[in-house]
Structure 1
Amino acid sequence: MIQWTDHHYRTLFRSISSCPTLYTEMIMDDALVHQHRISPFFETIEPWLRCGRSEDPIAVQLGGGGRCGSPSSVNQASIETFCLASELVVGYGRAHNPFPFGELNVNSGCPSGKAVSRGFGADLMRKSSGDHTRALLSQLCRRVGGDVDVTLKCRIGCVERYNRPGPDARVGYEMLRDYVEGAASAGVRKVVLHSRVCVLGGFSTGKNRTVPPLYYDVARRVARDFPGVEVVVNGGVGSLGVAEDILGGRYQGGNGGGEDEIWGWGEGEDLTGCNPGGVMVGRWAYNDVCGMWDADSRFYEKLDRDPTYRRVLEEYFEHCEGLGMRKNNKLDGLPSLIKPLHNIFCGLNGNKQYKQGLDKALKEWGRGGGGFEVGIRELVEGVLAEGYIREDVLEGPISAQRNKAQRGR
């Protein structure tokens, strides 16, 4: 998620859960290529790709590669830029990371107006972009597929306007199956499927995340028809319990009512045993990061880390120490470092007051001109000293506090 799943958030997450694959923010292909052409050293693209040893396994998500209004069915120049960016990602991972990147995820589901206007993201799902998208994935797998797993993120379809598909729409299961088949024939073996249709025009990004109904069963049909492709479900996952239900096939049918006829998902089928291979959790994992505390045991049969809140904070402070604190430094400035900590106490008594205290302290720091006068440890400890979060909560295991909060509801 852009401006959310950065290096600092991912480091915080790893103090809570060790096993789930983490994704970078969506990185634009032309930004990497342009920066590398200006100064052909891997250090120049570090702001987009840096990560620490604890972040493995991690997937790099790339945006771009759009058809961009090309009169030809395939825009070879755009594909070349995307492939060059992918080679830079692989090279950087080998040369500068403590581990190579394991996955390169192609974003063909971003619904933003900027993405659609530039021909990438969900625009790659248009019928008229089919040849281009297949060519993009085929060339990408050929050039970097031996070094990294090339995966695809997409929607279950795209329409021009809500409830008015338009002539270039991709709606109905048959058209989705054709799209996945093209990706699989190119060499893609993993598809992250956001279980909503994308509305290309007239909808904000926020509306595209919430208004189109979810159809989890569509992912199960894809899993049935493409046994050689790992299908990962995305969209509307607001707890680990929901993720378990999706993986167990306990979400039956769509929830679109009469819209089923418009969007062509048809009647329910017997999908017993046709379950997806994974679930991608988005904003919930950011808004309630400690809600992931038992993901390792639930989904990977590993022991949970189950640290105390104090331990999570201490590890994060250690990560931040030595980083620049200049106010205008977007990567390592105090506002960027504080951002992931806003939701660490989600669901607990005092969380609202803690967040307000954090915002107040940050504003006071900003009014003072920023700089090196205060570090993140000093600022956060100053807020906690106000007693918004009880000391026994800070010193107790996350599991105990989460279970207690659940019983109190």
Structure 2
Amino acid sequence: MTRRTTPSDPRSAARLSVAPMMDWTDRHCRYLHRLLSARALLYTEMVTAPALVRGGAVHLLDFSPEEYPVALQLGGSDPDELAQAARLGEEAGYDEINLNVGCPSDRVQSGTFGAVLMRTPELVADCVAAMRAAVDVEVTVKCRIGVDDQEPEEVLPDFLSRVAAVGVERVQIHARKAWLQGLSPKENRDIPPLDYDLVVRMKQAFPDLHVSINGGIGSLDLAEDLLARGLDGVMIGRAAYHAPADILSAADRRIFDDAAGDAHPVTAVMQMLPYIEAHLAAGGKLAQVTRHMLGLFAGRPGARNWRRVLSEGAHRPGAGPELVERALAEVTGIAA
């Protein structure tokens, strides 16, 4: 079990969160993001309940205490199995258990979970009720505004009513429809139009729900604007991954009114070096960590060379922290 080093308050941290993103927000990514923001809520990649319960893949729950506050996102559609998976997540030390009702990928649909569950809100309610009965930590839901030919103005209020009725107090709404046929997961992140106004209206209609908005948010300026419209939280995905320093370095000051100074990407790199050494000593590979660091200096002088050095060298046998130091010299101009 991962031991908490400081008390975590996921509800407060949810004022700004980094979205769960498949193949991206693994434990190495989250460790880096935590170095840039002490306050933002971090989410795991989606972990399927069958993998944990039937497959015994509890190693997928591993994380570092430094990541707190951190939430586990689960995928599934069987209430009993999700309850068991939620219990495993609580035992592992997560602050929150989140149910994925938003992912549109084919492999997720084939497992009858993700965005396809927007069609069966009564099943989602059953799943959430079972999860809440199994754990003491908060259970939340991440959803879309609708799927396919559904009318969001009709289905979203009904969906929120059903999950609120079984005790859900916090939701994250991706402000786009998901098209389960005809669009790829990537296209589903870009093509369906955003409807921020609808999410704001849902917050007004459900004032007791803590509502975070997700989808197309690429700056802290936009995050602040959305919070000013009465939303409780903003969840940022791709922008936080591709340019983490731009989103997270000033987040504690701007979003949480923290008096501490802004984080600096160079400092974060230096703090990553001991983590990298420990990962390599445990048998890991350098590229498993550095692939999440490529965007640290996005838009800054030397960023291209930083990415080139890491991309070309991290997969080579024996690559270690010295490669990261060499890449950093391309940004700082200081010889490694």
Question: TM over 0.5: same fold?
Answer: yes
Q: Which residue of 1 aligns with 2:22?
A: 2
The match for 1:60 among 72, 79, 82 is 72
Q: Which residue of 2 aligns with 1:124?
A: 117
Q: Which residue of 2 aligns with 1:232?
A: 212
Q: The residue matched to 1:107 in structure 2 has which SS?
A: strand
Do residues 80 (structure 1) and 24 (structure 2) align? Answer: no
Which amino acid in 2 is paired with 1:14? R
Q: 1:8-407 counterparts in 2 under 5 A?
A: 8-36=28-56, 45-46=58-59, 48-65=60-77, 78-93=78-93, 101-126=94-119, 129-144=120-135, 147-159=136-148, 165=149, 170-249=150-229, 275-291=230-246, 292-324=248-280, 332-363=284-315, 365=316, 370=317, 373-375=318-320, 377-385=321-329, 388-391=330-333
Change (3 A) 1:133 1:298: same
Q: The residue matched to 1:222 in structure 2 has which SS?
A: helix
- Which aligned segments of 4 or more residues in structure 1 are displaced greater than 3 angstroms? 307-310
Structure number with higher relative contact order (C-alpha < 8 Å, ≥ 6 residues apart): 2
What is the TM-score normalised by the length of structure 2?
0.89
Identity %: 35
What is the TM-score normalised by the length of structure 1?
0.73
Paired residues of 2:305 and 2:327 also in contact (CA < 8 A): no
Q: The residue matched to 1:135 in structure 2 has which SS?
A: helix
Q: CA deviation at 1:391?
A: 3.1
Once the two structures are superposed, residues 251-293 of structure 1 have per-residue CA deviations (whole angstroms, 9 ceiling, x without a partner) of: xxxxxxxxxxxxxxxxxxxxxxxx2100000010010111121
Q: Which residue of 1 aligns with 2:4?
A: none
Q: Number of residues paired by the alignment?
A: 315
- For residues 208 and 304 of structure 1, the distance between their equivalents in structure 2, rounded to whole angstroms, comes to 38
- For residues 301 and 338 of structure 1, the distance between their equivalents in structure 2, rounded to whole angstroms, comes to 30
Q: The residue matched to 1:237 in structure 2 has which SS?
A: coil
- For residues 306 and 267 of structure 2, the distance between their equivalents in structure 1, rounded to whole angstroms, comes to 18
Q: CA deviation at 1:81?
A: 1.1
Larger radius of gyration: 1
- For residues 110 and 384 of structure 1, the distance between their equivalents in structure 2, rounded to whole angstroms, comes to 36
Q: CA deviation at 1:27?
A: 0.5
Change (3 A) 1:308 1:194: closer
Change (3 A) 1:350 1:139: same
Superposed CA RMSD: 1.9
